């Protein structure tokens, strides 16, 4: 069986330690709570907390529906049918966070504080959402194979089970209590000139501010270069349409203060951001402008996605006390 080295990017001269034994990726069915894995794109060690069922709207897949439809974004687009796809809530090994922080935010899962200050956001470090195909499963004889402050609070070792880590009651209670701002339901994907953009929006809740309601969403974006040519993200251009009738344009350099380079060696970049509307729903779409080595530019489409508010509004957690 293949032995599995710990993720790369270690200081020179250090020998890679063996962390486990690879297993065959699942073609059918889903991974269980407690499954250890390496992330196939970002290379970190992680463990599955629980699966989510998402609707994947993939604009790269030819749809049987060919007629054009006007969407709220105001431009004609093909009707895209959603397909059910499995995503996982996972813990990232804290030892790997420093090595992936330039490629993927390790504090991307956020929620609103449960008090009057509507701008107070809390982040939970080392949580991620991964698609089924991101997972390279492995097994380990180590009883604490993942270093994360929530590992032993959420999981316990049970050698009679496969995988041998089972959910504690605290994990089930945490998922039940916090699912309104953890749950992902829609995933949107589109590829332009071999750059694939994946967007996952999350509704975070509503806050009252100056006698009006403000609705908040988090959106997670992954950019992947499917080609061998090196490109660099230079600008973002967003259009944000609110049900209240406003249309906002946002332009800026890079994303989250960075202008990531996507190369064959490091083909992906992932980040999260937030948007608020004074309406319970809206739409966002836009483009990322990339630069090639010769100085030429091209625009990559961000697939339109809807911002919907959950009908069953629940109170967000007040800090991380479970």
Q: Residue 47's Cα: distance from chain center in Å?
A: 15
Q: Is residue 72 part of a domain?
A: no
Domain containing 123 — which CATH number? 2.60.40.1470
* Contact between residue 155 and residue 146 where contact means Cβ atoms under 8 Å apart: no
Report the number of distinct structural domains present in the chain.
1
pTM of the complete model: 0.87
Residue 263: inside a domain, yes or no? yes
Integer angstrom CA distances of residue 298 from 122, 190, 224, 229: 36, 15, 15, 13
> Taking the mean position of all CA atoms in its chain, how far away is CA 263?
20
Residue 249 lies in a domain: yes
- Confirm whether 188 is domain-assigned: yes
Say which DSSP state 296 is in: -
Specify the DSSP class assigned to residue 134: G
Beta bridge partners of 39: 135
Cβ-contact 146, 45 below 8 angstroms: yes
Q: Evaluate whether residue 276 is within a structural domain.
A: yes
Residue 284 lies in a domain: yes
Cα–Cα distance, 101 to 103 (Å, whole number): 5
Residue 94: strand pairing partners: none
* 3-state class (DSSP) for residue 275: strand
Do 229 and 218 touch, CB atoms closer than 8 A?
A: no
The per-residue pLDDT string of the chain (322 residues; one tens digit each, 9 = 90 and over) reads 455 655 555 445 455 667 889 999 999 899 999 999 999 999 999 999 999 999 999 999 865 544 444 444 444 456 788 999 999 999 999 999 999 999 999 988 998 876 655 567 888 899 999 999 999 999 999 999 999 999 999 999 999 999 999 999 999 999 998 888 899 999 999 999 999 999 999 999 888 878 889 999 999 999 999 999 999 999 999 999 999 999 999 999 999 999 999 999 999 999 999 999 999 999 999 999 999 999 999 999 999 999 999 655 444 444 443 3
The answer to whether the CB of 313 falls within 8 A of the CB of 206 is yes
Q: Which residues pair with 121 in a beta bridge?
A: 112
Is residue 144 domain-resident? yes
Q: Give the structural domain span for 182.
A: 21-61+83-308
> Which residue shows structure tokens 């945490």?
174
Is residue 299 a part of any domain in this protein? yes
DSSP state of 211: T
């Amino acid at each position: 069986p293949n032995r599995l080295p710990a993720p790369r990017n270690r200081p020179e001269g250090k020998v890679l330690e063996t962390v486990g034994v690879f297993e065959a990726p699942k073609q059918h069915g889903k991974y269980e709570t407690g499954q250890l894995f390496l992330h196939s794109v970002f290379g970190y060690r992680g463990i599955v907390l629980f699966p989510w069922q998402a609707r994947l709207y993939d604009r790269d897949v030819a749809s049987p529906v060919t007629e054009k439809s006007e969407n709220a974004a105001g431009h004609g687009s093909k009707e895209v049918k959603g397909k059910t796809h499995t995503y996982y809530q996972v813990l990232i090994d804290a030892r790997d966070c420093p090595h992936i922080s330039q490629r993927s935010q390790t504090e991307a899962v956020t929620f609103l504080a449960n008090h009057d200050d509507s701008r107070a956001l809390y982040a939970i470090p080392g949580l991620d959402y991964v698609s089924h195909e991101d997972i390279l499963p492995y097994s380990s004889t180590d009883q604490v194979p993942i270093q994360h402050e929530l590992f032993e609070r959420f999981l316990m070792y049970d050698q009679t089970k496969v995988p041998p880590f089972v959910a504690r009651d605290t994990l089930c209670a945490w998922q039940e209590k916090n699912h309104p701002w953890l749950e992902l339901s829609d995933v949107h994907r589109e590829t332009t000139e071999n750059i694939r953009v994946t967007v996952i929006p999350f509704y975070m809740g509503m806050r009252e501010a100056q006698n009006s309601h403000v609705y908040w969403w988090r959106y997670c974006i992954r950019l992947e270069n499917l080609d061998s040519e090196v490109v660099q993200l230079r600008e973002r251009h967003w259009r944000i349409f609110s049900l209240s009738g406003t249309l906002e344009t946002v332009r800026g350099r890079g994303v989250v203060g960075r202008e990531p380079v996507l190369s064959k060696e490091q083909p992906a970049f992932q980040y999260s951001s937030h948007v608020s509307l004074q309406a319970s729903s809206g739409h966002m779409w836009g483009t990322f402008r990339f630069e090639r080595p010769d100085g030429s530019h091209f625009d990559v489409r961000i697939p339109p996605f809807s911002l919907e508010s959950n009908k069953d509004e629940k109170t967000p957690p007040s800090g991380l006390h479970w």
